[in-house]
């Protein structure tokens, strides 16, 4: 079995204690992190080395955004796409190499952090929302040309299904669940025929959230969550997935991220 995980960590240096806990307790083979908020030189390399995650691909920037893929099995950096079109560090792609990857050898693993999009779902008055839609359109054009087994994971900042949010009716005009964003994400999905592994294994309308706002002081009482994090795969690759889950209790760990980790298990 090979385990691939994804987690918006909201500052890897600040939250290294819970990353260490997760890696020790759950032991994924590969962990894709978003919003690492650091440059490569300041990344906690020694901590990951000590945990056995000696293969890394890091695309960071100071204080904001940034993505990193760390692994116990061999991989090499394959690509960095500027889907934001402004130089922000929001993507890194790797290729799995060597026999330790088993049936996944040669697979491309894309780690992405889609922009949140600001607060107003109107590109005419909110440039950030327009940037988000353009980001998704560039992703769709890229996906249209994908021609080998690929998995794309990360914080998409969109909860597409009605059951992906605590209240479909109340969030229809809230950025992350608006129809225009859902339609843009669907165009990206259709461009390659991606399989939403999460919803293949946790069927809608079953409750499935990966993010709870820090503003929600008692998330257990109100449970106002959203599914903003995703793991999608090429159709043939998705057939190799044997399980998928998330670690919701990580939201209650000390100094948590507002997101929780997801993991997909594959037959080697």
Of the chain, the end-to-end C-alpha distance in Å amounts to 5
pLDDT at 52: 98
Per-residue model confidence (pLDDT) at position 71: 98
Write down all domains in the chain, each with its CATH number in brackets: 2-266 (3.60.10.10)
CA distances from 169 to 20, 153, 161, 172, 219 (A): 38, 27, 12, 6, 19
Structure tokens given for 185? 């994400």
Give me the pLDDT at residue 151, please. Answer: 98
How far is it, in rounded angstroms, from Cα 241 to Cα 182?
25
Of 40, 43, 1, 55, nearest in space to 19 by CA = 43
pTM of the model: 0.97
pLDDT of residue 221: 87
**Beta-bridge mates of residue 262:** 6, 246
pLDDT tens digits in sequence order for the chain, 268 residues long: 999 999 999 999 999 999 999 999 999 999 999 999 999 999 999 999 999 999 999 999 999 999 999 999 999 999 999 999 999 999 999 999 999 999 999 999 999 999 999 999 999 999 999 999 999 999 999 999 999 999 999 999 999 999 999 999 999 999 999 999 999 999 999 999 999 999 999 999 999 999 999 988 788 888 999 999 999 999 999 999 999 999 999 999 999 999 999 999 999 8
Contact by Cβ (8 Å): 59, 78: no
């Amino acid at each position: 079995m090979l385990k691939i995980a994804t987690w918006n960590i909201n500052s890897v240096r600040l939250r290294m204690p819970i990353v260490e806990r997760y890696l020790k307790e759950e032991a994924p083979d590969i962990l894709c992190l978003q919003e690492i908020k650091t440059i490569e030189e300041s990344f906690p390399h020694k901590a990951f080395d000590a945990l056995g995650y000696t293969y890394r691909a890091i695309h960071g920037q100071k204080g904001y955004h940034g993505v990193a893929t760390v692994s116990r099995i061999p991989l090499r950096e394959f690509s960095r796409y500027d889907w934001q079109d402004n130089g922000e560090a929001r993507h890194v792609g790797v290729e799995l190499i060597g026999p330790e990857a088993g049936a996944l050898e040669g697979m491309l693993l894309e780690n992405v952090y889609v922009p949140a999009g600001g607060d107003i779902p109107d590109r005419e008055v909110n440039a950030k929302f327009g940037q988000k839609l353009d980001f998704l359109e560039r992703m769709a054009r890229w996906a249209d040309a994908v021609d080998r087994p690929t998995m794309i994971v990360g914080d998409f900042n969109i909860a597409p299904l009605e059951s992906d949010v605590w209240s479909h009716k109340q969030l229809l005009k809230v950025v992350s669940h608006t129809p225009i964003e859902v339609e843009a994400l669907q165009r990206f999905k259709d461009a390659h025929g991606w399989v939403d592994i999460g919803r293949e294994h946790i069927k809608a309308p079953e409750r499935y959230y990966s993010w709870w706002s820090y503003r929600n002081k008692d998330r257990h009482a109100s449970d106002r969550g959203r599914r903003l994090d995703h793991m999608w795969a090429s159709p043939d690759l998705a057939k190799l997935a044997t399980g998928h889950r998330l670690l919701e209790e990580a939201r209650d760990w000390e100094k948590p991220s507002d997101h929780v980790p997801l993991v997909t298990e594959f037959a080697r």
